[in-house]
Structure 1
């Protein structure tokens, strides 16, 4: 399905009522007097195809929730404005993400843009918005790759672009107490590719290696690598020879499958395996069968989180149950962040003084202080300009009941308000 085809269908859904009202207006004076309020155009850039497509599976459900809850209208200064959501596919490619963002800005003339799904999507979209003076709200990109990967200056920040998610520092601080409970003498193997996340995490001055070493762990880093990779023999060989028993990495699901299959073939059996991007999705884990048991997940959000949507009033559990009932698929971490993205978009618009002025929309976005389904979003707190930090806990995959796998929370050291419901375990082979 092309971007344009999807756009036409979505416009009919979200702005049909406004179009119907406009068609009934008489010509002449009454047309001018009863002119429909400005239609707000929201651009959405997401990886619908390619290796990051796993990240988009919740969006149709979320858009349907937005439609049902709002009726395709947002109230700004007492006036109801119809809105339309124009979707573009980044194809999991940063260059394509830039191109379609330019299309949204220059051809569609959108009022603001929303995006998500790793720095490979978020950063190029944000850069184009910053260059062209269009407000941009994003999540699902760790804060350091988002900020420093775009050459952000902590003294100044940016004018138009804002992102909320967990930070690399937060992730490291969340992983260490969990590791120390299981493997206090661990040797960590870094599986860090040549991309935004991998470069940020592997930085020998400000990344993970110096922090982990200060905590008493040894770090083995075989170096950056490009993806897709036909195999991970070099990395596995380096890990085996160095006695690595903890894997810490960040790979898309297909790449992790290649690595994990290679580890099995070569008899590499680490005690703890954490690989960001890959292990968050039950649909990516299920093909591994029992080899998924015990894999570690950094849990950005779950059905166990004690937060409520400011848009629909649903609890985390209620949103997960509704998603499973509507889709027939198991909930997973990104669901809350897809939902929260539009919580912030709509809250920003509601607080905008002048919807005809992009700077006014930007000012409302900058002033965001909102209790969302993923926790409070407050851009005044940082840790970097234009960013907001969200909570993080640690989970593991276990044998499921209703579904083949179940995610359980095993360590909440950094966010005790999220309840633990299982004890951490080493991987059993």
Structure 2
């Protein structure tokens, strides 16, 4: 069980008159001699960040590389910050092997703003777009796109409660659509595609909850977008990877800030970007490289998921309704045989340092999000807790 730690109230230096000394150092910003024990965070987002990244940010918080200021205080136009931004982009390109004919954008507004930006930028004179509906996030994308074009829902599992990816043989695609949009991993229902759709039109994907979890062939897509707060970095940033030939033909009346080409032409700095979130994401990219890249992360993530699903399937006390081929590697929902024990489960899990296991409010139950930054020993601790809980209450 983690040790409770509370930062002490820092003393403030005073003058001989009793008033505070201007500019006096505050000890609460000094590095602690001992790192507080951290809980295991299974939140779906904002999600866990690698502890090594947080420690690096802590070291650099007040004085970035001897510059005498924090990254969050830097001008985004300064040489120091431009170097940070460029390095982050290059590290992401290296990790994902992003082809040179793709632009990488670091934007604001989250993935939800992309629901509108995508039709604004990718309709390119057409009036119809194809969407696959496998959960709440793809449904939200569909509703937003309907404000700009006719949406053809090529397939949906809504009638079954979103438990699987619809058989591709049943998809009703429109060959004249501007693009085909899908959500490879749905965080709420825990449904993951086990394939990348073949498409005669530009393929668009919301990779928010599974980007960087394993290798990905970017060249199969016209556009990939991902909110940062799950597997990239802190909330406040969204990464867009878009093929260059799709830029420059926005819907008439599109606001300047919603035009991908404007951001691409200005290095994602048409306005002041989310500088600190961009910096922290860059540290995450460096951490991923140090772990062995996405091949290694894929191995670890598959092993973590296999352990958790084995614990669920091996006990009559727990259940998961998702079809086996479509079980999410990142977001694992599960139910208890005795739903009346859910509050007890969450309370005891929290006391054991296993945080944020409540399922989404729309579906209830439990959910463990086991993103890259959730260590394997965290999954082991959860599995052990689940077994003990089932033994005591089963």
TM-score range, shorter chain: 0.3 to 0.5
TM normalised by structure 1 equals: 0.32
Q: Which has the higher strand share?
A: 1
TM normalised by structure 2 equals: 0.34
Which structure's relative contact order is higher, taking Cα pairs within 8 Å and 6+ residues apart? 2
